[in-house]
Structure 1
Amino acid sequence: MSDLALTLARFQFGFTISFHIIFPAITIGLASYLAVLEASWLKSRNTVYLDLYHFWVKIFSLCFGMGVVSGLVMAYQFGTNWAGFSSVAGSVTGPLLAYEVLTAFFLEAGFLGVMLFGWNKVGPELHFTSTVMVALGTLVSATWILASNSWMQTPQGFELVDGKVIPLDWFKIIFNPSFPYRLIHMVIAAYLATALFVVAAGGWQLLHGKNNPAVRKMLSMGLWLILLLAPLQVVIGDMHGLNTLKHQPAKIAAIEAHWENKGEEATPLVLLAWPDMAQEKNLFAVEIPVLGSLILRHSLTEQIPALKDFPARDRPNATIIFWSFRVMVGLGMLMILLAVTSAWLRWKGTLYQNSTFQKFCILMGPAGLIAILAGWFTTEIGRQPWVVYGLLRTVDAVTPHTAGEVGLTLALFVVIYFALFGMGTVYVLRLVNGGPKTGEALQGDAISINRTELDEFMVAPEFHPDPQPSPPTTSTSTGKNAPKDH
């Protein structure tokens, strides 16, 4: 297989997973958020929580659907583009994906219908149970996916027989060395991304004069979560980094753009640089002495392995992951700044009146998703040139297609994905623009997006939801006051 075909195959997988990961991240966070909202309503009977539930469950359902569709493509690619990987390691990854279907998908499928359409058909306790089960299902799904991917990063619990992976200990396979850190890191990242999305929606509503209890409540809840989780993510990230240094030292060396150790000198922290893989050096670098050893070794003297300690063919692309890692960390620092600023404004009593802060909230809306993508680029590109680290090289895992074949399918993916998921994303944003409606829960079921609204979205330049949906009537009119189709 040519180098170009291999590059296109890698780019195709990276492109499709970049689209896919956005939607599960949002659904993981929104599912738990919906469970919290419904629990708060059951406890307090404050209808603000119910209004927020009915607002965000629409967005959850759309993101859930797009996540399922984009996820199916990921599974097919193991057979179409990565037959070598499936042949060697399918005995591990296949069962792990099957376990996801048998647990997470069945759990979500069993309760999702009740959650979306059973609001006036089952009791409050059963409906709340359904919401919790769906939220649990999203977390179970993330667990199996992260177990599979983490095994590819730090494989154990198997033996190699005639070039095939034979599972020996499923406990070791699932609970491989990097799994706990990567699972917690990803789930927190999903919660942060969702909280930022919710906060951005609240900031947008406030900035446009929609200052009502529901908007203030969702802004407040999102900011409290960011204040709690953003600093915690730094701690988890540090633990994850130490684990990576132990098991994938070449990845850490590339992330730090650290080419060689100088005598017994402690490792500096490279803040900014342009790593040149061909010349095996940084074309420029801004460094802080000793700080690299302090962060990565928790020591003032210990060094970390350098890129030149590894053969050139075993080094990941430092130029890419050096910057993707810094994008992730930089956005994390902005999240902390957002949270601290919100706490200060709460103390001053101006949280809901500060337009500059509201604009900051809106700008930070996509930050969580961008940080997730940057983190995944760092993790996956940093694993190269291996698909299963230390066991199966990427060049040996790819299906021997021609560059033309892979290029054609990639082009089709780009066109279809931007059309399909672009339209879905625009519709989600238009729902967000409408904002939560007071008394919306009186409509009936949680999902109340009717055909008229969908038609308006498809043909009209602007989407303006009815400010006060009409209650169901027995009229046969097809106009604005026609009964809603629940």
Structure 2
Amino acid sequence: MDTEILARIQFAFTIAFHYIYPPLSIGLGVILVIMEGMYLRTKKEIYHTMTRFWVKIFALIFGIGVATGIVMEFEFGTNWATYSRYVGDIFGSALAAEGLFAFALESGFLGILLFGWNRVKPWVHFVSTIGVAFGSMFSAVWIVVANSWQQTPAGFKIVGEGMNQKAEITDFWAMVFNPSSVDRLSHVLIGAFLAGAFLVISVNAYYILKGRYLEIAKPAFKIALVVVIVASFAQLFTGHRSADGVAEYQPAKLAAFEGHYDSLAVGDMYLFGWVDHDNKEVTGLKIPKFLTFLIHQDFTTQIKGLDYFPEDEIPGQVNAVFQFYHIMVAIGMVLIGLSILSIYLWWKGKLFKYRWFLVLMAWAVFLPQIANQVGWFAAEMGRQPWVVYGLLRTDEAFSQAVTANQILFTLILFFFVYLLLFVLFIYLLNKKIKHGPYDDRLEDDRPNQSEQAFNL
């Protein structure tokens, strides 16, 4: 295996593992604001208790997320030196803004969030919760801005020649609000809201199934469910907006998403299928001309197919891009279906009546995580062979001084370290969930209802 492929695999592995945690912390941050806001508004102790419980889980997720994210910054320098030199001015500005607006805000309030209980006034603690939530979202803002610039570069000029070429910012705000940044940011944030909310739903569905902490679990389940219902429908809108942007600025990626080859034909939308790139055929279930309708609001406009582009300017793994994209879309529709089902049961007063529904919601915690992962894979693999779209090719961006054996060794090392971190995370998360929302010192004071069996 050559150096470029190994470098790409290593970065894909590290970023995929890291990306388990930021969406959870972003989504949980929003949930914490709602829970603590309910406590300040109602003065009911159950909201105070559930907030303190989820703050502990937030701290665990935040800590693992920071630890796994540091590695990627070193990989830019070790494995992608040409790329780092080329985009250094752009990424330097974005990452500096992240440190200033995100990490400073988040870390500044994190101490109060974790240790300020009974030490500061309730409204001060609530402000710290809001600060941490916004800090986690601001971190996503600048990362997505930097990544979106790779997809749709704007506000820059190229200076230097040959290996010394690099992009320099000419308009900071044009760089920030590049053509895809707003749509992609909204899509990413809503995906994060879904990930965090489904974690809360899953844990509380488990408690309800076990007949434990019902006075805490049911209200927390409902709070998270409201976030899921709003976010799942909003994700449909942001996904469509993002796809429109891809159609305009990255037509080869859109063609790969749908396995569309013929540039003289309208675009069909596949519900599922399999792409045979050698024969330029897709086998599957499709809605004829519906892709054209979604993009152009008519059934006659032709869409650029993969045949329109030179072979060396289209993604090398079209079927993989197709599958990842369709898995993301399918999960999004499943989440909307779960939201509709939840609305119906809630309206009928049967939200906690059926065991099968609670089991379904408990296991649904994996769906947003899978959708987030495959969505990123589709976006990044669909951009190939460009690391900066239309400007810098991936095969020109990796470090020439690093050998394949060196990358392979560190990849194996990272695998075992990350595996250890993941096992530790699952162990600690499971321990906190089994311990429950009450502090040891409050164990004797919790309501008797939490000990009653839940009759399903």
TM range (shorter): over 0.9
Q: 2:156, 2:282 → 1: CA distance?
A: 42
Question: Which residue of structure 1 lines up, in the alignment, with residue 197 of structure 2?
Answer: 195
Q: Does the aligned pair in 1 maintain the 2:37–2:126 contact within 8 Å?
A: yes
Q: 1:441, 1:101 → 2: CA distance?
A: 37
Match of 2:16 among 15, 18, 21: 18
Secondary structure of 1:303's partner? Answer: coil
Secondary structure of 2:333's partner? Answer: helix
Question: Which residue of structure 1 lines up, in the alignment, with residue 420 of structure 2?
Answer: 419
Q: Percent identity?
A: 38
Residue identity in the other structure for 1:416: V
Q: 1:182, 1:283 → 2: CA distance?
A: 28
Matches within 5 A, 1:391-402: 391-400=391-400, 401-402=402-403
Q: 1:412, 1:468 → 2: CA distance?
A: 46
Q: 1:359, 1:93 → 2: CA distance?
A: 43
Secondary structure of 2:281's partner? Answer: strand
Secondary structure of 1:258's partner? Answer: coil
Report whether the alignment pairs 1:235 with 2:233.
no
Q: How far has the Cα of 1:434 moved from its partner?
A: 3.4
Q: 1:418, 1:352 → 2: CA distance?
A: 36
Matches within 5 A, 1:59-458: 59-162=57-160, 163-210=165-212, 212-262=214-264, 265-277=265-277, 279-282=278-281, 284-316=283-315, 317-400=317-400, 401-437=402-438, 440=439
Q: Does the aligned pair in 2 maintain the 1:255–1:321 contact within 8 Å?
A: yes
Q: Does the aligned pair in 2 maintain the 1:85–1:398 contact within 8 Å?
A: yes
Deviations 1:149-202 (A, max 9, x none): 111110011111112212111010111000000111111110011111111111
Question: Which residue of structure 1 lines up, in the alignment, with residue 450 of structure 2?
Answer: none
Q: 2:404, 2:222 → 1: CA distance?
A: 51
Q: 1:267, 1:247 → 2: CA distance?
A: 17
CA RMSD of aligned residues (A): 1.7
Q: How far has the Cα of 1:231 moved from its partner?
A: 1.2
Secondary structure of 1:274's partner? Answer: strand
Q: 1:76, 1:266 → 2: CA distance?
A: 45
Q: Does the aligned pair in 1 maintain the 2:263–2:306 contact within 8 Å?
A: no
Decide whether aligned partners of structure 1 residues 112 and 296 sit closer, same or farther in structure 2, where only a CA change above 3 A counts: same
Q: How far has the Cα of 1:441 moved from its partner?
A: 10
Residue identity in the other structure for 2:59: S
Q: 1:297, 1:431 → 2: CA distance?
A: 50
Q: 1:142, 1:270 → 2: CA distance?
A: 31
Q: Does the aligned pair in 1 maintain the 2:275–2:319 contact within 8 Å?
A: yes
Residue identity in the other structure for 2:227: L
Name the TM-score, length of structure 2 as normaliser.
0.93
Q: How far has the Cα of 1:425 moved from its partner?
A: 2.5
Q: How far has the Cα of 1:87 moved from its partner?
A: 1.0
Deviations 1:71-119 (A, max 9, x none): 1111111101110111111111112111111221111121111110011
Q: 2:299, 2:398 → 1: CA distance?
A: 43
Residue identity in the other structure for 2:392: L
Decide whether aligned partners of structure 1 residues 115 and 283 sit closer, same or farther in structure 2, where only a CA change above 3 A counts: closer
Secondary structure of 1:345's partner? Answer: helix
Q: How far has the Cα of 1:422 moved from its partner?
A: 2.3
Structure 2 residues not aligned, in runs of 5+: 447-456
Deviations 1:106-149 (A, max 9, x none): 11121111110011111111111111111111111111111111
Q: 1:287, 1:109 → 2: CA distance?
A: 49
Secondary structure of 2:20's partner? Answer: helix
Secondary structure of 1:266's partner? Answer: coil
Secondary structure of 2:158's partner? Answer: strand
Q: Does the aligned pair in 2 maintain the 1:273–1:282 contact within 8 Å?
A: no
Q: Does the aligned pair in 2 maintain the 1:54–1:441 contact within 8 Å?
A: no
